[in-house]
Amino acid sequence: MATGVESANLIALLRSVFGFAVFRAGQEAVCRAAIDGRDLLLVMPTGAGKSLCYQLPSIARGGTALVISPLIALMDDQAAKLTALGLKVARIHSGLDRGVARQACVDYLQGTLQFLFIAPERLRVPGFPEMLAKRKLALIAIDEAHCISQWGHDFRPDYRMLGQHLPGLRGEGDPTPVLALTATATPSVQADILAQLGMKKPVQFIHGFRRDNLAIEVVELPVPERAEAICSLLANPERRPAIVYATSRKNAEKLAEELSRTVSRGGAGRHSAKRIPAAAYHAGLDSETRERVQTAFQAGELEVVVATIAFGMGIDKADIRTVIHAGLPATLEGYYQEIGRAGRDGAPSRTYLMHSYADQKTHDFFLNRDYPPVEHLNQVHRALTDEPQQVEELRGAVRLGEEEFDKALEKLEIHGGARVDFGGNVTRGGTGWKKTYAIQAQYRAEQFEKVLRFTTSSECRMAALVRHFGDVEDASRACGICDVCDPAGAVLRQFRRPSPVDREIVQSIVDDLRPVDYKATGTLQRNLELGGRMSRNEFDSLLEAMVRAGLIEIEEAEFEKDGEVIRFRKVRLTERGLEVRPTTLLALLISDGIVEEFGSRGASAPPRARKSKASAARPGKKAEPEAGPVQLSAAGETLAARLREWRAAEAKRLGLPAYMVLNDRTISAVAQARPANPNQLLAVSGMGPGKMEKFGEAILGLCGGKE
Ligand code: ADP
Ligand code: MG
Ligand code: ZN
């Protein structure tokens, strides 16, 4: 076998066969391991270029690659691309007629095929695995490998059989390497894939999930206030093009309409007020309308699309500046895919996730709809026989509503309890469905729990996502630009400096925690006897601020009581927290609702708006995000130039883009304020505790006028 292939040779193959100039991040290492014959699991986001990671090694090794893929559309797409490159490719799936399959087998046995694509169920056909085993394969690639795991959201029972067929297909002696590829595998799914496929000393490549130019902002906002906040945000043309994910078709349409009535900012001096070009997109629209919306968005005629989850699969738009979730997504996987559509061009982009307690109820509703009670499935299963029945006939025999019936049958089919053939005939399947269905419904509920925890966590948002996808190593680095890392840079969510009362309570918290290892947040709150001084929500915001400032740590924990799992949060002091005395200078920024500019107006406004107003008078209120460039004095310009020079060096040292050290707006603001001490520097718009910690001393040194 071709081992130890030179870099130059790999690049030569990449160029001559695929026509690509360079490898993308991670591809070369994966190709090398595969060429060396290693079993491997590759987890990279959609669109990162996983296919190349089995295609190129297979060509380098010589012979035929067997590619197992769960969807006909995916297979056809890859096969068409490879054929267009002049490679010899065949597919075998149920959408093709028998002659094609027979020819594919003939070609395979003659050794003229470079790639053979099959659906997993093909391995159930008697004699087929034996036919494949007659030749030694170059490699076996399993695409969308998460389908093998019942923990994965697309579980396919047919994938489950792969494990038992692989040993025969890999052959004796120097076994053919197995490559498992997927974009979504949490650590438990990863472990399941390795075990199910019986991989030998597998190498795991998990990367590419971090997106350096996406700033994630999470905002708690009551449902009725979201539309207005979204309209004000997107009135600024710099925040468009944008995608807004709505929670229902009705909401998508309402919001698109409100946006279309909103006057776009900018365009000053013109007579006609330009509106925001927006449209709704959801599965309830006819395909012609959907096509039109998608094309117009792609072409830039529409600048905002308000969509349900159905939108975005087919779009390839690099300059999306904003993605807004007007409600909580069901899973972090879905959420990540959706925010990932922003900033494909690498330019800074922002994403907003709006949530409140009410979102949980909506989700319970969806969960019940998508995962109907087992009893529904039971009813359908009982009505099935070994004799094929027409679906309509079956529907008549089962006493369920039309949608309930469809959902139950769909679930039964997915979990192997029913078999539906191409003519729409249904027969009874196995009995294993009950177990896998229950596991999956449970898993789905847990997925949502994770979304909830993501919103309440005080960890860097990007780090939390990267960790969720299993890249533990990369998760130790904070992004520097999300609302947790850089609260002062938040656009929608507003932060304020602590009041004397806040400061007092911080001290009580520290004193209360000092003698103990940890306390539950609830106990802590009760001990402090906050009385009328602070609500539970305000207390939580204060704790969050203390986490960000590195004074305390909060850890999710649980215990069992009467067979019920009870979750709570443990708070403990950090070393820095231990040192806090009433005189200690603290860089605290407390979350305080949303920036007034985006909030509700009018007399009937809820308490939140009043709160915003109160905080507007506070000294720490940051400048309007849209504030134009500051006019600097000559001395200010000199300082700004010095700061930029320092920033360039610092960015280089840290290997970060310059705007992540300090953005231009902050540099101007610092140059204008010329802070003389940490407190003054912290009051500058754009300076958060994170930046203070990392760069405070250096910036103050530059401002200190050593002229
Ligand atoms: P996924 O990881 O989602 O399976 P694909 O393998 O389908 O992604 O690749 C996504 C796109 O990236 C394809 O159009 C592919 O041709 C392209 N691509 C992959 N590798 C490279 C490369 N090294 N240079 C340029 N384009 C590439
Ligand atoms: Mg793929
Ligand atoms: Zn961050």
* 474-493 pLDDT per residue, tens: 888 999 999 999 988 899 98
Q: Give domain 634-703's CATH number out of 1.10.150.80, 2.40.180.10, 3.40.50.720, 1.10.3720.10.
A: 1.10.150.80
Per the prediction, the chain carries an average pLDDT of 85
* 15-57 pLDDT per residue, tens: 999 999 999 988 999 999 999 999 999 999 888 899 999 999 9
| Contacting residues for 686 by C-beta, under 8 A, at least 6 apart | 488, 489, 622, 662, 663, 665, 666, 669, 670
Better-scored residue on pLDDT, 303 or 617 = 303
- Cβ of 20 closer than 6 Å to ligand 1, yes or no, is yes
CB atoms within 10 A of CB 263: 11
- The residue whose CA has the least distance to atom 18 of ligand 1 is 49
Measured from the Cα of 27, ligand 1's closest atom is 23
* 404-414 pLDDT per residue, tens: 898 899 899 88
The tally of CA atoms less than 13 A away on the side-chain side of residue 325 is 29
3-class state of residue 444 by DSSP? helix
Does pLDDT of 630 surpass 70? no
H helices then E strands: how many in the chain?
29, 21
Contacts 24+ apart (CB under 8 A), 519-523: 519/570, 519/571, 519/572, 520/568, 520/569, 520/570, 520/571, 521/554, 521/568, 521/569, 521/570, 521/571, 522/568
Does pLDDT of 312 surpass 70? no
Better-scored residue on pLDDT, 481 or 660 = 481
3-class state of residue 571 by DSSP? strand
Better-scored residue on pLDDT, 666 or 237 = 237
- The residue whose CA has the least distance to atom 19 of ligand 1 is 49
- Cβ of 196 closer than 6 Å to ligand 1, yes or no, is no
Better-scored residue on pLDDT, 599 or 99 = 99
- Cβ of 50 closer than 6 Å to ligand 1, yes or no, is yes
Q: Which of 511, 633, 662 is nearest to 582 (CA)?
A: 511
Measured from the Cα of 45, ligand 1's closest atom is 2
Band of the pLDDT at 628, cuts 50, 70, 90? very low
Nearest ligand atom owner, CA of 69? 2
Q: How far is the CA of 470 from the centre of ligand 3 (A)?
A: 17
Q: How far is the CA of 477 from the centre of ligand 3 (A)?
A: 8
Residue 307's pLDDT is 93
Q: What does the alpha-carbon distance between residue 78 and residue 118 come to, in Å, rounded to a whole number? A: 12
- Cβ of 47 closer than 6 Å to ligand 1, yes or no, is yes
Q: Give domain 371-443's CATH number out of 3.40.50.920, 1.10.10.10, 3.20.20.150, 2.30.110.10.
A: 1.10.10.10
Q: What does the alpha-carbon distance between residue 260 and residue 395 come to, in Å, rounded to a whole number? A: 43
Nearest ligand atom owner, CA of 489? 3
What's phi and psi for 469, nearest 5 deg?
-80, 5
| Contacting residues for 570 by C-beta, under 8 A, at least 6 apart | 518, 519, 520, 521, 554, 555, 556, 557
What's the mean pLDDT in 380-392?
Answer: 92
Band of the pLDDT at 445, cuts 50, 70, 90? confident
Residue 363's pLDDT is 82
Q: What does the alpha-carbon distance between residue 269 and residue 37 come to, in Å, rounded to a whole number? A: 66
Does pLDDT of 75 surpass 70? yes
Q: How far is the CA of 479 from the centre of ligand 3 (A)?
A: 4
DSSP 126-186: TTHHHHHTTS--SEEEETTGGGG-TTSTT--HHHHTHHHHHHHHH-SSSPPPEEEEES---
Band of the pLDDT at 615, cuts 50, 70, 90? very low
Nearest ligand atom owner, CA of 146? 2
The tally of CA atoms less than 13 A away on the side-chain side of residue 506 is 32
Residue type, 396: G
Which residue among 51, 341, 344 has the greatest number of ligand 1 atoms within 8 angstroms of its CB, and so is best to mutate? 51
| Contacting residues for 489 by C-beta, under 8 A, at least 6 apart | 215, 481, 483, 663, 666, 686, 688
The pair of structure tokens assigned to 272 is 């006609």
Q: What does the alpha-carbon distance between residue 155 and residue 396 come to, in Å, rounded to a whole number? A: 29
Centroid of chain to Cα 535: 32
Centroid of chain to Cα 322: 14
- The residue whose CA has the least distance to atom 12 of ligand 1 is 49
Residue 147's pLDDT is 87
Ranking 264-278, 527-541, 692-706 by mean pLDDT, the lowest is 264-278
Which residue among 16, 20, 76 has the greatest number of ligand 1 atoms within 8 angstroms of its CB, and so is best to mutate? 20
* 191-212 pLDDT per residue, tens: 989 999 999 899 999 988 999 9
3-class state of residue 358 by DSSP? helix
- The residue whose CA has the least distance to atom 16 of ligand 1 is 49
DSSP 686: T
Does pLDDT of 707 surpass 50? no
- Cβ of 44 closer than 6 Å to ligand 1, yes or no, is yes
Band of the pLDDT at 619, cuts 50, 70, 90? very low
- Cβ of 46 closer than 6 Å to ligand 1, yes or no, is yes
- The residue whose CA has the least distance to atom 24 of ligand 1 is 20
Q: What does the alpha-carbon distance between residue 605 and residue 364 come to, in Å, rounded to a whole number? A: 29
Does pLDDT of 607 surpass 50? no
Helix/strand/coil percent split, the chain, to 5: 45, 15, 40
What's phi and psi for 494, nearest 5 deg?
-110, 140
Q: What does the alpha-carbon distance between residue 160 and residue 181 come to, in Å, rounded to a whole number? A: 15
Residue 593 pairs in a beta bridge with none
Q: Answer for the pair 664, 635: CB distance below 8 angstroms, yes or no.
A: no
Rg from Cα positions in the chain: 29
Q: Which of 636, 622, 629 is nearest to 684 (CA)?
A: 622
Q: How far is the CA of 460 from the centre of ligand 3 (A)?
A: 4
Q: Give domain 498-578's CATH number out of 2.40.110.10, 1.10.150.650, 1.10.10.10, 1.20.1050.10.
A: 1.10.10.10
Q: Which of 592, 590, 516 is nearest to 548 (CA)?
A: 590
Please name the residue that has the structure tokens 């002659």: 99
Q: What does the alpha-carbon distance between residue 657 and residue 212 come to, in Å, rounded to a whole number? A: 9
For residue 518, give Cα distances in angstroms to 514, 549, 568, 574: 9, 18, 12, 10
- Cβ of 52 closer than 6 Å to ligand 1, yes or no, is yes
Band of the pLDDT at 317, cuts 50, 70, 90? confident
Band of the pLDDT at 274, cuts 50, 70, 90? confident
Q: What does the alpha-carbon distance between residue 657 and residue 640 come to, in Å, rounded to a whole number? A: 18
Nearest ligand atom owner, CA of 486? 3
Superfamily of domain covering 214-363+462-479: P-loop containing nucleotide triphosphate hydrolases (3.40.50.300)
Nearest ligand atom owner, CA of 80? 1
Residue type, 127: G
Residue 620's pLDDT is 34
Does pLDDT of 154 surpass 80? no
Measured from the Cα of 20, ligand 1's closest atom is 24
Does pLDDT of 706 surpass 50? no
Query: Any idea which fold 7-206 has?
Result: Rossmann fold (3.40.50)
Band of the pLDDT at 6, cuts 50, 70, 90? low
Better-scored residue on pLDDT, 40 or 632 = 40
The residues whose Cβ lies within 5 A of ligand 3, an ion, are: 460, 478-479, 482, 485
* 103-141 pLDDT per residue, tens: 999 999 999 999 999 999 899 899 999 999 999 999 999
Please name the residue that has the structure tokens 């103050």: 700
For residue 614, give Cα distances in angstroms to 219, 504, 683: 19, 20, 17
Residue 313's pLDDT is 61
Count of positions (residues) in the chain: 707
DSSP 69: -
Please name the residue that has the structure tokens 């003698």: 515
Better-scored residue on pLDDT, 636 or 659 = 636
The CATH 3.40.50.300 portion of the chain extends over 7-206, 214-363+462-479
Better-scored residue on pLDDT, 281 or 681 = 281
Residue 627's pLDDT is 34
Q: Which of 373, 334, 379, 381 is nearest to 353 (CA)?
A: 334
Band of the pLDDT at 272, cuts 50, 70, 90? low
Residue type, 557: A
Q: What does the alpha-carbon distance between residue 610 and residue 593 come to, in Å, rounded to a whole number? A: 10
The CATH 1.10.10.10 portion of the chain extends over 371-443, 498-578
300: left (phi over 0), alpha (psi -120 to 50) or beta: left
Q: Answer for the pair 180, 110: CB distance below 8 angstroms, yes or no.
A: no
Measured from the Cα of 44, ligand 1's closest atom is 2
